[in-house]
Structure 1
Amino acid sequence: MAASAEEVQNLTNAESSGSRIHQWPASPKSALGISGAEPPMTDIEVEFQQTLRRFALEVMRPIGRKLDRMTPAEIIADDSPFWEFRKKYLELGIDLAQLFEMPPEVRSRMFCLIFEELGYGDGGLAISVGAGVLPQYLSALFGNQFLMERFPQEMLGCWAITEPDHGSDTLDPTGAARHADGKVSRSNCIVSFKGDKMVINGQKSAWVSNGTVAEVCILYAAADTGKGADYEHGCVVVLPLDLPGISRGKPLDKIGQRGDPQGEIFFNDVEVPMEYLLAGPEDFQRAVYCIHAEANVLMGATWTGAARAAADMAFEYAHERKQGGVPIIRHQRVAQRIFEMYRKVEAGCALTRRAAHYNQSADVPALQAAMMAKVSCTQWAHEVTSEAIQIFGGNGLTAEYPVEKMFRDARSSMIEDGCNELLSIKGGYLISDAQKGA
């Protein structure tokens, strides 16, 4: 006589007592957390993430949309919402000194958490925050106590490296990615060493994030020690931007990330004491490598967060919008699109955190890993925001809905901090060198 279904189930349960699988619902399904397939976090991390998510939604998102519709001049005006954002960000109390006191694995996790959530709120404002702390962050990494005390993190910073004649190639001072017949033109900004001071002349291009409003600058430039200017042996100077001889260009009018006020900085016989030198010619290669590794991971985290925001919006809209008598999520192609969007977001999150953890723990960070995070996550952010527009349909093309702005913001990310094409070439050489043991 055959056993009944109930008898079979009872026997199975008896033999498998203690298995957590039997605690699952009969039709298993799990909802992911606010940042996807996140491993368990500490109570402090959970509270911190929730605080940042509220800040992203309640402060960054509305201010970012306001700034997006303003002229460049209005964005940097004294009464601009940009300064309201800046004030409220500082009130969060994110302290670089506390981050550096954390173990490497905790610091890397918190670093990614911060910029994922800031990117979730607004990509342009997140980049402004990231660029804004680079002078202080690099000063701390180099252990320069004078510069750390001279420029507290409340001072808004900028990173000036690209020039009118030198874009992504400034991240490749050794010329590894350069064509064999390529010739390097004269640098547009030169630091001359004269006794106990430095004299800066030239300009940095309009792509300096916070360039029109920053108080302090970390300047990467060619160095002239008396034998002629040489960018391959350049220098890094951290300096205040209120010195005589410094002026700014007009704020840049651009397609996306309008909440990040970018613009030129001009130097005309600017005299700077030697104590503002962070890295001389002998340390310049290290300084380029260092800031590049940090900034590329920052980009990966920021644009993973922006992609997640677009995916979340598309997910909600797909459950609200009806076509054919049912929510569009019930249409197979829409469900597939949603899955593909989250697949890329999860991959970007995992890749960035893996690169951040390695680079914070290793004796020498792997720049190629940071490049992989930057190139992959910005590309995926562009694809995910584009798919979000497709799910919103015609509505996604209008300024009434935020996804078109997110698409424009993400498009810019594939060029900033090194265009993805050059990073991929240089990253390939870095991998090759590592495999050869060079």
Structure 2
Amino acid sequence: MSTQYASKQSTYGNPSPGSRVDGWDENPIGRLQLTGAEAPLPEEEQSILDTVHRFSSEVVRPAGIALDRMSAEAVAAPDSPLWPVLQGYRELGLGLDLLMELPAEARARVLCLVMEELGWGDAGLAISLGTSMNPQLTAHEFGNQYLLDKYPETMLGCWAITQPDHGSDSLDVSKQAFHPQGAYGRPNCVVTLKHDRLVINGQFSAWVSNGTIAELCILYAPADCGEGADPERGCAVMVPLDAKGVSRGKPLEKMGQRALNQGEIFFDNVELSLDHLVAGPEHFKKAVYAKHVEANGLMGAIFTGTARSAFELALAYAHERKQGGVPIIRHQSVSHRLFHMFRKVEMARAITRRAVTYNYTQAVPALHVAMTSKVTATQVAFEVASEALQIFGGNGLTYEYPIEKILRDARASMIEDGCNELLAIKGGFHLVDPGLL
């Protein structure tokens, strides 16, 4: 260094006091928030985020790991670790009443924050908690104060739409994805609407989340108004599951999301007053559309959290595990893989927040935007969990580490709430401008 330059160092080449880079370290590294590149949150929202993260860390994740090792019947048993999770979340006070008091944009952000943290803790339990709000949420969307007053949100809810012979096609009441030679076929459950009551007969498949333990059901099924059941003119009905004629199947054993109770519900001449009709045939498509928007948005948030959990576990392990005399994060292939995992998590979060915020602030939400959130986040969760398992190597295949569980949970997400292939087809149809046809 020349003497002339050294004498000028105090004047030239230094940041001015108060400039953007003044105070940075010589080798600056930006530190991220709990949820990545998160702008500062309002104090109340930050408090909610901290509370739910602590609950997910101390209650949800340990319970999810324990429940994953149990039989489906043991998960639903009275002494199961499931019940303290459901009760503990209720005690947080983050119910429908609180959410609906928030402005639309804040409500969207809080829902995404909460569901991401729950998905970070355990995907199956997050879905159980989200599903439990479905009956009251549907009644709220249709302004049915009678049902909101009659059935408090403390009742554990479920959403029945998938029938044994009908899966994702139940969400395609407009027949946008049907094959030209296809037909819905015979429904497995039908609601017969009469002048003074409704009668439910049939069954829903074993994929009803909270199906064998719920107290309240929002049921979507073809309606029969006297001329036979019409899948395009169905109805949505609030059903207390202690009604006469309701019975349940056994809890479903499955590969992933084992902490999520699922099972069949049977209806044998279940009679209810017409007060329980949330949406009649003339509004059925609205009901399916609204519920699909809600479900896909929340799935996006949940599995952003699932992807984040896999990434964080892999990142921590890469600092601990040594190969070739150094932590494996020092190997270029590992750091390269971790960066792309991080990138995908940030992408899933950004798309989900954007989609949910848009749909909560519009008079008519855009279903294909919600589908974008669900398809992106679930695909990302599976890819990131798979990459995480690769970083863990053989250890990732063992029960000692939670990565194999997260991978199983993530794989299931690409099928539930509409398989991703069907959502992509329907989403494409929603891009069509009818004015150009």
The 5-angstrom pairing of residues 235-384 of structure 1 reads 235-384=235-384
Residue aligned with 2:316, SS: helix
Letter in 2 for 1:161: I
Letter in 2 for 1:272: L
Deviation at 1:86, TM superposition (A): 1.2
Partner residue in 1 for 2:154: 154
**Cα distance in structure 2, aligned partners of 1:291 and 1:3:** 72
Partner residue in 2 for 1:203: 203
CA contact (8 A) 2:124 2:259 kept: yes
Query: 1:119-166, CA deviations, whole angstroms, 9 ceiling, x for partnerless residues?
Result: 010000000011111111111111110111122111100000011111
Partner residue in 1 for 2:13: 12
The 5-angstrom pairing of residues 57-72 of structure 1 reads 57-72=57-72
**Cα distance in structure 1, aligned partners of 2:17 and 2:148:** 59
The 5-angstrom pairing of residues 146-225 of structure 1 reads 146-225=146-225
Deviation at 1:10, TM superposition (A): 2.5
**Cα distance in structure 2, aligned partners of 1:244 and 1:56:** 37
**Cα distance in structure 2, aligned partners of 1:408 and 1:318:** 21
Residue aligned with 1:87, SS: helix
Residue aligned with 2:217, SS: strand
Gaps of 5+ in 1: none
**Cα distance in structure 1, aligned partners of 2:411 and 2:56:** 20
Letter in 1 for 2:166: H
CA contact (8 A) 2:184 2:231 kept: no
Residue aligned with 1:180, SS: coil
**Cα distance in structure 2, aligned partners of 1:5 and 1:336:** 40
Letter in 1 for 2:122: D
Partner residue in 2 for 1:55: 55
Partner residue in 2 for 1:99: 99
**Cα distance in structure 2, aligned partners of 1:6 and 1:344:** 48
Residue aligned with 1:233, SS: strand
Letter in 2 for 1:281: P
Query: 1:5-61, CA deviations, whole angstroms, 9 ceiling, x for partnerless residues?
Result: 5625622337x4442123322211111111100011112211211111111111011
The 5-angstrom pairing of residues 60-139 of structure 1 reads 60-139=60-139
Residue aligned with 1:12, SS: coil
Which consecutive segments of 4 or more residues in structure 1 shift more than 3 A? Answer: none
Letter in 2 for 1:245: G
Query: 1:362-410, CA deviations, whole angstroms, 9 ceiling, x for partnerless residues?
Result: 0100100000000010000000111111111110000110111000000
Deviation at 1:2, TM superposition (A): 8.0
Deviation at 1:245, TM superposition (A): 0.7
Query: 1:341-380, CA deviations, whole angstroms, 9 ceiling, x for partnerless residues?
Result: 1101000000000001100000100100000000010000
Deviation at 1:433, TM superposition (A): 3.6
- 1:249 to 1:437, Cα distance in 2 relative to 1, 3 A: farther
Deviation at 1:117, TM superposition (A): 0.4
**Cα distance in structure 1, aligned partners of 2:46 and 2:93:** 16
Partner residue in 1 for 2:141: 141
**Cα distance in structure 2, aligned partners of 1:393 and 1:327:** 14
Residue aligned with 2:35, SS: coil
CA contact (8 A) 2:60 2:121 kept: yes
- 1:13 to 1:422, Cα distance in 2 relative to 1, 3 A: same
**Cα distance in structure 1, aligned partners of 2:256 and 2:6:** 61
Letter in 2 for 1:87: Q
Deviation at 1:203, TM superposition (A): 0.6
**Cα distance in structure 2, aligned partners of 1:331 and 1:10:** 41
**Cα distance in structure 2, aligned partners of 1:39 and 1:102:** 19
Q: Does 1:426 align with 2:397?
A: no
| TM-score (normalizing by structure 2) | 0.97
Letter in 1 for 2:13: T
**Cα distance in structure 2, aligned partners of 1:6 and 1:199:** 92
**Cα distance in structure 2, aligned partners of 1:391 and 1:284:** 47
Residue aligned with 2:334, SS: helix
**Cα distance in structure 2, aligned partners of 1:177 and 1:337:** 36
After alignment, is 227-236 or 94-103 more displaced?
94-103
**Cα distance in structure 2, aligned partners of 1:285 and 1:5:** 75
Letter in 1 for 2:317: Y
Gaps of 5+ in 2: none
Partner residue in 1 for 2:30: 30
Deviation at 1:271, TM superposition (A): 0.2
- 1:29 to 1:250, Cα distance in 2 relative to 1, 3 A: same
**Cα distance in structure 2, aligned partners of 1:283 and 1:5:** 79
Identity of aligned residues (%): 56
- 1:173 to 1:9, Cα distance in 2 relative to 1, 3 A: farther
The 5-angstrom pairing of residues 387-398 of structure 1 reads 387-398=387-398
**Cα distance in structure 2, aligned partners of 1:291 and 1:226:** 27
Deviation at 1:95, TM superposition (A): 2.1
- 1:80 to 1:414, Cα distance in 2 relative to 1, 3 A: same
Residue aligned with 2:11, SS: helix
